[in-house]
Amino acid sequence: MQEPTILVDDRGDVEILTLDRPHVLNALDENMTFALRDYFAGLAERPEVRVVLLRGAGRNFCAGLDLSGWQNDASRGELQHFWRLQRSLAGLLELMRACPQPIIGLGHGAACGAGFSLLLACDVRYGAPDLRMNAAYIKIGLGGCDLGCSYFLPRIVGASVATEYMLTGRFMDAGKALQCGLLSEIAPLDSLLDRGLALAGEMLANSPMGLRLTKEGINRNLDARSLSDAMALEDRQQVMMLMSEDFSEGLAAFREKRPPKFRDR
């Protein structure tokens, strides 16, 4: 029987998802990758979960890829094996971006290679002071463009900074990450989860559909061809929300100076 590779702490509207292979610095093997894929794919059918916090157990967030933890079918060639591995990981990142729930990444220790990409795929990132991240791929004879890094990083920190770190594979510390907008906040490790939960609480004060549509709108409009295309999406979303019961409740609560009671209707 396979040992669990992830832990899920259900706190009602919020779930805390923990990478749980601390003995190998939470490196991604096949079992963990597919456990994460199943989890994020399933979120589309679980609207009761409204925010996800992603963190790592032990001393590090995720040290990257555990190549020894991927089964190689001897009946197939090396190309097929590595293609399956690559697409399995890439699919995980796509599922993270596609799920309706905002994902708050809580990084500490090492976040290297695939671990770096996991943090980049989160919607918001908080980090501990000891967080160190790098696009490690180029340091082992591969290209620096891997697992969404060449998509996410330039959009978050700008092309020049992203290119610098991807061409060198050097580590970015928490201070630099905060400076260039990759982290929203640095918090002591022992209070990192509490800070993430506090942010989740602020998100939960808003309507469920509004939260889901906002994540979708931001992600889609990162790739919008023009301002007109971006505003067309915003117009459709806002008209949908104007017709919701939650909008009527939110407006009434604002006028009555009380907290709204949203029902996701």
Model confidence pLDDT, tens digit, residues 106-148: 999 999 999 999 999 999 999 999 999 999 989 888 888 999 9
The answer to whether the pTM exceeds 0.85 is: yes
pLDDT (tens digit, 9 = 90+) per residue, 171-218?
999 999 999 999 999 999 999 999 999 999 999 999 999 999 999 999
Residues 105, 125: contact at Cβ < 8 Å?
yes
Strand-strand pairing, 132-134 and 172-173: antiparallel
For the chain, the structural domain boundaries read: 6-203, 206-256
Write down the pLDDT at residue 190: 96
Six-digit token string for 234:
């915003």
The band of 97, judged by pLDDT with boundaries at 50, 70 and 90, is very high
d(CA 120, CA 26) in angstroms, rounded, equals: 17
d(CA 167, CA 177) in angstroms, rounded, equals: 17
Spatial CB neighbours of 51, under 8 Å, sequence gap ≥ 6: 13, 14, 15, 101, 102, 103, 104, 200, 203, 204, 211
Write down the pLDDT at residue 74: 64
The sign one gets for the Cα dihedral 240, 243, 245, 248 is: positive
Write down the pLDDT at residue 253: 87
Query: What residue has token string 């061809």?
Result: 225
Six-digit token string for 220:
């889609």
Residues 6, 15: contact at Cβ < 8 Å?
no
Phi, psi of 6 (to 5 degrees): -135, 155
| Class of residue 45 by CB neighbours under 10 A (exposed 0-12, middle 13-18, buried 19+) | exposed
Task: For residue 263, count other CB atoms closer than 10 A to its CB.
Answer: 11
pLDDT > 60? residue 1: no
What is the third-level CATH fold of 6-203? Answer: 2-enoyl-CoA Hydratase; Chain A, domain 1 (3.90.226)
pLDDT (tens digit, 9 = 90+) per residue, 28-76?
999 999 999 999 999 999 999 999 999 999 999 999 999 888 887 766 7
Amino acid at site 191: S
d(CA 115, CA 220) in angstroms, rounded, equals: 24
The band of 243, judged by pLDDT with boundaries at 50, 70 and 90, is confident
Write down the pLDDT at residue 2: 66
